[in-house]
Chains A and B, each alone.
Chain A
Amino acid sequence: MNGPSTPTAVADAAEADLTAVQPAVASTRVRTPWTEFWRKFRKQHVALVALAFVLLLVVVAVLAPWIAPYDAENFFDYDRLNQGPSWAHWMGVDPLGRDILSRILSGARISLAAGFFSVALGGIVGSALGLLAGYYGGWWDRIVMRISDVLLAFPGILLALGVVAILGSSMVNVVVAVSVFSVPAFARLVRGNTLVLKQMTYVEAVRSIGASDWTIVMRHILPGSISAIVVYFTMRLGTSIITAASLSFLGMGAQPPTPEWGAMLNEARADMVNAPHVALFPSLAIFLTVLAFNLLGDGMRDALDPKIDRQ
């Protein structure tokens, strides 16, 4: 299902390679890593669709207040409580009379921001720590891994619950807590990769010609870990959005009447028998958003992986 692994994409790849043989084409095209990435990425139709969906989500998140048909928090249609989808309300109305579509659109902004900021922060710090720990080893490795063990000892939601117990319920606290949880996971993953990579012959070769530690780590070990980091970044982007929504579902993150998707599901739980559509649309919103990020990440992974072109 991922681009180059589907028969059609493989056929596309073969075709592209054939055209590249023609001298006229080959001489005009400069192959930077970026064009190479884009060349491989755009062949993956599933990932392209996911990218389009993510871009659409970003636009929706930015424009939510203007494109939402009703006010997400302060509009109440008392004549249609719990009513299913209709022309006036495409996704129906919740038990309080609020328009579900408008609330979903506004919720996109909250979920996207929460996911992105928490993973970016955790990924950068964690990867740096993991590289250093794996490469230098010794006491530095022991300290980083000890702290990682301790932090890993607090699962995402548990840590976030602790933070919420101390700081109080809010989305900002949730983002901080989720990002802290990402740090040791990235550190451990990158360290494991580095341990294996630094024993490779090519690294030994680079060291033997006198390359500095910085060069070895940044140019020869980090690139070997990039695909793992990207895969994990994407997985965490998805899981971070889910974790943030879970906390709101538990009543620890965004508070009603904020149209956060997890909080909406929590409110919907009270009346699943009479109004299942109230739970359905927020579930779908989370699912599709996370799915899009995961598929996009898969596509990026395959496009970044130098080995995939080999076959």
Chain B
Amino acid sequence: MASYLLKRLLGLLPTLLIVAVLVFLFVHMLPGDPARLAAGPDADPQTVELVRKDLGLDKPLAGQFVDFFGRMLHGDFGTSLRTKRAVSDEVGDRFMPTLLLTLASMAWSVVFGMGIGIASAVFRNQWPDRLGMTLAVSGISFPAFALGMLLMEIFSVQLGWLPTVGADSWRHYILPSITLGAAVAAVMARFTRASFVEVIQEDFVRTARAKGLDERVVILKHCLRNALIPVVTMMGLQFGFLLGGSIVVETVFNWPGLGRLLVDAVTMRDYPVIQALVLLFSFEFIVINLTVDILYGFINPTIRYR
């Protein structure tokens, strides 16, 4: 297990390097001159040249990358073109609201999704199954922005039970995390059910039942572990969906998080902020993927010892 872990950790380094190169090249793929972008549309040619020298954009590409990489390691991502504040401060202010929103959504959607999935598989073809799967297929079919607008219209505008926008108290988290987690809960429910139904039909489950084990032990011990393998993969993929979805949900609920920061940055072509955010999002994903791989090896020993 230790060598498996080490191998996976070392495997991260090239990935991080590729991401860093892509993010670095991103600025040079933008249409137009990055120096002019940074200097602003009204700057005269002398100012643009000054900015170019200031940002090191007059150096050869490889030298620029070394500079960029070195500053990145120190957590220096430059200044936002829009607010003139340090990008690290901009991102730092917005980090917690998004992290909490994502975790809240993931937590409830995994619990509900797996619960519904297991119940549907165990009570296959009975009413809990049909109810659960109807909910699930509706959940993956309803776009987050429409769901957010609908929930806000009902619970905030019509009933006045919950606040509409902002992230000041725990009550502000209810609607956005329901909106963000709905699709994930639905996908988890469907995958858990599919995986469980397959495992329940296996011979070893029949054996476990035949030797007189309690049905709860059969389901929770014998089935769950085997059914979890595809479910864990799905969970890793769903984290991607959550962070992507947060961009939309944060826009609907005017949430002071990273997603809205990114939308604003793209709209305003604030490229230092875009770079920092893409790096941060990528890093989070790599960590999640690593966790999934480790869990995978943990749950299914045949893959670990390959």
Interface residues of A (CB under 8 A from B): 1-2, 5-7, 10, 137, 142, 146-147, 149-150, 152-158, 161-162, 164-166, 168, 185, 188-189, 192, 195-196, 199, 231, 235, 238-239, 242-243, 245-246, 249-252, 262, 265, 269, 272-273, 276, 279, 282-283, 286-288, 290-291, 294-295, 298, 307, 310-311
Determine if B124 is an interface residue (Cβ-Cβ < 8 Å). Answer: yes
Whether the Cβ atoms of B282 and A153 lie closer than 8 Å is: yes
Which bracket fits the contact residues of B? 35 or more
Interface residues of B (CB under 8 A from A): 11, 14-15, 18-19, 22, 26, 29-31, 124-125, 129-130, 133-134, 137-138, 140-146, 149-150, 153, 157, 183, 187, 194, 198, 201, 229-230, 233, 237, 240-241, 243-245, 247-248, 251, 262-263, 266-267, 269, 271, 274, 278, 281-283, 285-286, 289, 302-303, 306
Whether the Cβ atoms of A5 and B124 lie closer than 8 Å is: yes
Min distance, Cβ B182 to any Cβ of chain A, angstroms = 12
Whether the Cβ atoms of B302 and A287 lie closer than 8 Å is: no
Give the dominant DSSP class at B's interface: helix
Query: B278 contacts which of A162, A185, A235, A238 (Cβ < 8 Å)?
Result: A162
Task: Supply 5 further A-B pairs (C-beta < 8 A) apart from A5-B125, A150-B282, A294-B140.
Answer: A1-B129, A166-B26, A239-B140, A239-B241, A246-B144
Whether the Cβ atoms of B30 and A192 lie closer than 8 Å is: no
Whether the Cβ atoms of A269 and B137 lie closer than 8 Å is: no
User: Which residues of the other chain, B, contact A242 by a CB distance below 8 angstroms?
Assistant: 143-144
Whether the Cβ atoms of B278 and A154 lie closer than 8 Å is: yes
Q: How many Å lie between the Cα of A6 and that of B127 in the bound state? A: 10
Q: How many Å lie between the Cα of A185 and that of B187 in the bound state? A: 14
Whether the Cβ atoms of A287 and B282 lie closer than 8 Å is: no
Q: How many Å lie between the Cα of A244 and that of B11 in the bound state? A: 33
User: Which residues of the other chain, B, contact A235 by a CB distance below 8 angstroms?
Assistant: 140, 187
17 contacts between A and B (CB under 8 A): A142-B11, A146-B15, A155-B243, A157-B247, A158-B278, A165-B271, A166-B26, A185-B237, A246-B248, A249-B248, A249-B251, A252-B266, A272-B153, A276-B153, A283-B150, A290-B142, A298-B137
Min distance, Cβ A296 to any Cβ of chain B, angstroms = 11
Whether the Cβ atoms of A161 and B247 lie closer than 8 Å is: yes
Q: How many Å lie between the Cα of A243 and that of B31 in the bound state? A: 25
Query: A262 contacts which of B145, B237, B281 (Cβ < 8 Å)?
Result: B145
The listed residue with most A CB atoms (<10 A of its CB), out of B30, B140, B146, is B146
Query: B266 contacts which of A6, A154, A161, A185 (Cβ < 8 Å)?
Result: A161
Q: How many Å lie between the Cα of A161 and that of B248 in the bound state? A: 12
Chain B residue nearest in CB terms to A160: B244
With A188-B237, A287-B141 known as contacts, the answer to whether A153 contacts B281 (CB < 8 A) is yes
User: Which residues of the other chain, A, contact B145 by a CB distance below 8 angstroms?
Assistant: 245-246, 249, 262, 265
With A165-B274, A290-B143, A294-B141 known as contacts, the answer to whether A157 contacts B149 (CB < 8 A) is no
With A146-B14, A156-B244, A189-B233 known as contacts, the answer to whether A294 contacts B142 (CB < 8 A) is no
Chain A residue nearest in CB terms to B245: A157
Q: How many Å lie between the Cα of A147 and that of B183 in the bound state? A: 26
Whether the Cβ atoms of B143 and A245 lie closer than 8 Å is: yes
User: Which residues of the other chain, A, contact B286 by a CB distance below 8 angstroms?
Assistant: 149, 153
Whether the Cβ atoms of B30 and A287 lie closer than 8 Å is: no
Q: How many Å lie between the Cα of A5 and that of B149 in the bound state? A: 34
User: Which residues of the other chain, B, contact A249 by a CB distance below 8 angstroms?
Assistant: 143, 145, 248, 251
The listed residue with most B CB atoms (<10 A of its CB), out of A279, A282, A294, A310, is A294
Q: How many Å lie between the Cα of A146 and that of B259 in the bound state? A: 26
Whether the Cβ atoms of A238 and B243 lie closer than 8 Å is: no
With A5-B125, A152-B285, A154-B281 known as contacts, the answer to whether A287 contacts B143 (CB < 8 A) is yes
Whether the Cβ atoms of A2 and B266 lie closer than 8 Å is: no
With A157-B248, A265-B146, A272-B157 known as contacts, the answer to whether A149 contacts B237 (CB < 8 A) is no
Whether the Cβ atoms of A279 and B149 lie closer than 8 Å is: yes
With A195-B303, A250-B263, A262-B145 known as contacts, the answer to whether A1 contacts B134 (CB < 8 A) is yes
User: Which residues of the other chain, A, contact B125 by a CB distance below 8 angstroms?
Assistant: 5-7, 10
Q: How many Å lie between the Cα of A250 and that of B245 in the bound state? A: 12
Query: A165 contacts which of B18, B30, B140 (Cβ < 8 Å)?
Result: B30
Q: How many Å lie between the Cα of A291 and that of B251 in the bound state? A: 24
Whether the Cβ atoms of A290 and B141 lie closer than 8 Å is: yes
Q: How many Å lie between the Cα of A196 and that of B289 in the bound state? A: 19
With A250-B247, A250-B251, A265-B149 known as contacts, the answer to whether A164 contacts B143 (CB < 8 A) is no
Whether the Cβ atoms of B247 and A153 lie closer than 8 Å is: no
By Cβ-Cβ distance, the 9 closest A-B pairs, closest first, are A155-B244, A153-B282, A283-B146, A291-B141, A153-B285, A290-B141, A157-B244, A155-B240, A242-B143
Q: How many Å lie between the Cα of A311 and that of B201 in the bound state? A: 10
Whether the Cβ atoms of A1 and B133 lie closer than 8 Å is: yes
Q: How many Å lie between the Cα of A188 and that of B285 in the bound state? A: 14
User: Which residues of the other chain, B, contact A137 by a CB distance below 8 angstroms?
Assistant: 306
Chain B residue nearest in CB terms to A245: B143
User: Which residues of the other chain, B, contact A283 by a CB distance below 8 angstroms?
Assistant: 143, 146, 149-150
Whether the Cβ atoms of A286 and B243 lie closer than 8 Å is: no
Chain B residue nearest in CB terms to A246: B248
Q: How many Å lie between the Cα of A188 and that of B282 in the bound state? A: 17
User: Which residues of the other chain, B, contact A279 by a CB distance below 8 angstroms?
Assistant: 146, 149
Whether the Cβ atoms of B241 and A155 lie closer than 8 Å is: yes
Q: How many Å lie between the Cα of A263 and that of B77 in the bound state? A: 33
Whether the Cβ atoms of B143 and A286 lie closer than 8 Å is: yes
Q: How many Å lie between the Cα of A199 and that of B233 in the bound state? A: 19
Min distance, Cβ B60 to any Cβ of chain A, angstroms = 22
Whether the Cβ atoms of A158 and B11 lie closer than 8 Å is: no
